[in-house]
Structure 1
Amino acid sequence: MIFKSDVENYLNMTKKPGPVDLIKMMIYFFHPRLTPIGIFRISSFFYRMNIQILAQVFSYINQILFGLEISPKVKIGPGFFMPHSRATVIGAREIGHHVTIYQNVTIGAKYLDFDYNSDTRPTIGNNVIIGTGATILGGVKIGEGTRIGPHTLVTTDIEPN
């Protein structure tokens, strides 16, 4: 289960490493820093199972409870972390593993794209940190290990760091 990796990453970041079993995953599902990620993982699961209505329901729950608009179509690797999810929109093509995204970030197409054309969406590499208020638009590629500073506008590719 990919959420297990999200919990492990969080525990390592907070200096509480250790084995993660089903009980610990259930407890941390209700942690305010992990619940939005858990809800996204459920929404994404239903999308992959082609149960669109449930994928949308869980996506709406995230929007209502956490101010997080994240498409169930986004492929996000393990170890995903969002210290604060408020006012964040994630409509990327793909996000790698161990990516941290801070609050008030927008990742998506440059123009309205209701069909969710993946060519118009950013691809985020592994081990990337995206700072508060950053905006990443269009079919750009963000290379592995990149650190995007607060309030940065990205509209061109960034090479791996």
Structure 2
Amino acid sequence: MARRLVAYLDSVKSRDPAPRSRAEILLYPGVWSLAFHRVAHRLYRMELFFLARAVNHLSRFLTANDIHPGARIGRRLFIDHGFTVIGETAEIGDDVTIYQNVTLGGTDPANGIAGKRHPTIGNGVIIGSGAQVLGPVTVGQRARIGANAVVTKNVPEGATMVGIPARQMLVDVTAYQRDFLPYGTPCSDSFDPATQKLELMQCEIEQLRKRLAALIEEQAKSALSADPVDEQERGCA
């Protein structure tokens, strides 16, 4: 038990440069909300639903995180700050990082899984602050959900999603190969599909301008190199 706790605290410290010691991490609301959830989930599985809810409400009051007792959570989940909501049928893998104001919410099932209303989050996923992952969607391993993104469809493994609705963006390989990326998105200029059409149109306009300039220059050279005899004949006519 002590080794698992130390490993968990070290995993948090590797994702957050703020704490100076493991003891400081023990004061994090995300750590306490996860501990409360372990108790509530065990009560939920024993069908002691009222007691499970009571622990859930106490956790929400103390930590500002609302995790339904029925949610399945893997190892080393790190909820940075608070005000996160995780629904009943949500499933979270190992080493997932969730920032503040995130919702793993539910909608009417549309994929044929009875009773499954909330997302399934793969191992190593990072969900940025304010993001909403809604419905019985699957977020692939090592995917990154950018801040304030709204995800309503399945996310491929390793993808970075931004925008409303969330769209996949291309990330520089140096950022992609990093083990951890705070808030799920790189702080650099990246090619964003949200502006793809505009950038392509600007590129086409620039090419047309160059082509037009070349045609004008070619016509000017042709006029200057015209046969002088022909010009004289035209003048006599």
TM-score range, shorter chain: 0.7 to 0.9
Q: Structure 1 residues 79, 147: CA separation in 2 closer, same or farther (over 3 Å shift)?
A: same
1:76 maps to 73
Partners of 2:3 and 2:57 lie apart in 1 by 23
SS in 2 for 1:145: coil
Partners of 1:82 and 1:97 lie apart in 2 by 13
Partners of 1:66 and 1:101 lie apart in 2 by 14
Which structure's relative contact order is higher, taking Cα pairs within 8 Å and 6+ residues apart? 1
- Partner residue of 2:28 out of 25, 32, 37: 32
Partners of 2:3 and 2:79 lie apart in 1 by 15
Partners of 1:100 and 1:6 lie apart in 2 by 17
1:90 aligns with 2:98: no
TM-score, with structure 2 as normaliser: 0.55
TM-score, with structure 1 as normaliser: 0.79
**Aligned residue identity for 1:130:** I
Q: Structure 1 residues 69, 13: CA separation in 2 closer, same or farther (over 3 Å shift)?
A: closer
1:8 maps to 7
Report the Cα offset of residue 118 of structure 1: 3.8
SS in 1 for 2:78: coil
Equivalenced residues, count: 144
Partners of 2:136 and 2:53 lie apart in 1 by 24
Partners of 1:118 and 1:48 lie apart in 2 by 16
Report the Cα offset of residue 151 of structure 1: 0.6
Which consecutive segments of 4 or more residues in structure 1 shift more than 4 A? Answer: 3-7, 27-30
Larger Rg: 2
- Normalized per residue, the structure richer in helix is 2
SS in 1 for 2:35: helix
SS in 2 for 1:136: strand
Report the Cα offset of residue 63 of structure 1: 1.5
**Aligned residue identity for 2:10:** L
- Partner residue of 1:153 out of 147, 150, 162: 150
Partners of 1:126 and 1:96 lie apart in 2 by 5
Q: Structure 1 residues 118, 102: CA separation in 2 closer, same or farther (over 3 Å shift)?
A: farther
Return 5+ residue gaps in structure 2 as ranges. 15-21, 109-113, 159-237
Return 5+ residue gaps in structure 1 as ranges. 16-24, 112-116
Q: Structure 1 residues 30, 103: CA separation in 2 closer, same or farther (over 3 Å shift)?
A: same
Partners of 2:133 and 2:80 lie apart in 1 by 19
- Partner residue of 1:135 out of 132, 137, 158: 132
Indicate the percent of aligned positions where both proteins have the same amino acid.
Answer: 35
SS in 1 for 2:7: helix
**Aligned residue identity for 1:47:** Y
Partners of 1:6 and 1:65 lie apart in 2 by 21
